[in-house]
Amino acid sequence: MRRVSTLAAASTSLSRAILASSEHHHEYNKLFQAASFYAANTGSSRRWFSSSVGSTSPGGYSSTAAKVFLSLGCVAASVAAGASSLFVEEEAYAKEPISPDLVPKEVVLYQYESCPFCNKVKAFLDYYDVPYKVVEVNPLSKKEIKWSDYKKVPILMVDGQPLQDSSAIIDQMRTKLSPVKSTSVVNDDEEEKKWRRWVDDHLVHMLSPNIYRNTSEALESFNYITSNGNFSYTEKYTVKYAGAAAMYFVSKKLKKKYNITDERTALYEACETWVDALDGRDFLGGLKPNLADLAVFGVLRPIRYLTSGKDMVEHTRIGEWYARMENVVGESSRVKA
């Protein structure tokens, strides 16, 4: 009985902490707390779970519920084409030029390794080769961000200035770096904005029902979360099993909330929608990724090598674009703290 209580307490603490990584976490806390309690007390809490979840918003579940943490070289020239073709490929996928004097002197990212919003920011920093240090936040104690009134991640400290909210961080960093834009790129800003909104309003909602769709995938996801997160040995155990159980039940509610009949089909359709938006282009930005490309890539990167991500690449056309993104984003620009 004591062990069950411990799991329930740990899972509830986990809900309050890790789910703060969602930009709109306040509405979500009740939902995950309800799932956590349900997972540890299945027989007696069914009525309490339903009433608690139903009270998160006038319409039922939180409108931002799917923004849960995840908590979670295909560009090669043909040999027959010779060295000139190889040069063309490298030229086409060259990164945006950044003036060295515009690169901040010190950049520190406070993050959860598996958080899709943190990974959006990292995709941007990696693409623009901005050196950054990482501080992995313990989602239970949050002691690493005690200094901040803002209790969610990501937080990006840029030369002593804290930036918050993944999309706002990226916008502000682009302004700071001021990469030279061609006229055609400027004219495509509306398309870029449209698909960045699509990432936050639609694509992220597909993730949780997929990575927690059954018990084995839920455990796989939490194994990744606990292996890459900042947890003590005891926390790893309780987080992995209590969290996986809780999110398995939450994923079923998310399916109902977003009218998802089959979670894999919904993920595949989202991927195909993105590939259709490319309209034959290598990237939405043309020969170079724009912020929408980086947002989609960043959000999908934490799941790419989970079962759901492998299925995604196998059963949709997104694999070639994703491989091009891996190639052009390149190695992480992260430096040791």
331 or 54, higher pLDDT? 331
Mean pLDDT of the chain: 78
pLDDT for position 159:
97
Interval 246-256: pLDDT, tens = 888 888 898 99
Task: Give, as one character, the DSSP assignment of residue 178.
Answer: -
Interval 81-127: pLDDT, tens = 333 333 334 445 667 778 889 999 999 999 998 889 999 999 999 99
Is the confidence at residue 68, as pLDDT, over 60?
A: no
Q: By C-alpha distance, which of 67, 247, 262 is closest to 166?
A: 67
pLDDT for position 235:
86
Q: Which residues of 245-261 are buried (b: 16+ CB within 10 A; e: fewer)?
A: bbbbbbbebbbebbebe
Interval 175-190: pLDDT, tens = 999 755 544 445 568 9
Give all domains of the chain, ordered by start, each with its CATH number. 2-72+207-262 (1.20.1050)
pLDDT for position 309:
97
Query: Hey, CA dihedral for 104, 107, 113, 114, is it positive or negative?
Result: negative
Is the confidence at residue 330, as pLDDT, over 60?
A: yes
- Position of tokens 């062990």? 3
CA angle 196, 248, 114 (to 5 degrees): 45
Per-residue pLDDT, averaged over 196-215, amounts to 94
Judge whether 21 and 117 are in contact, CB under 8 Å: yes
Does residue 139 have a cis peptide bond before it, meaning omega lies within 30 degrees of 0?
Answer: no
Q: What residues are labeled active site? A: 112, 115, 117-118
pLDDT for position 270:
98
Q: Which residues pair with 60 in a beta bridge?
A: 57
Residue 151: what are its φ and ψ, rounded to 5°? -105, 25
- Within a 10 A sphere around the Cβ of 114, how many other Cβ atoms? 25
Interval 138-173: pLDDT, tens = 888 899 999 999 999 999 999 999 999 999 999 999
Q: Which residues pair with 8 in a beta bridge?
A: none
Interval 227-241: pLDDT, tens = 888 888 888 888 888
Cα separation, 269 vs 94, whole angstroms: 30
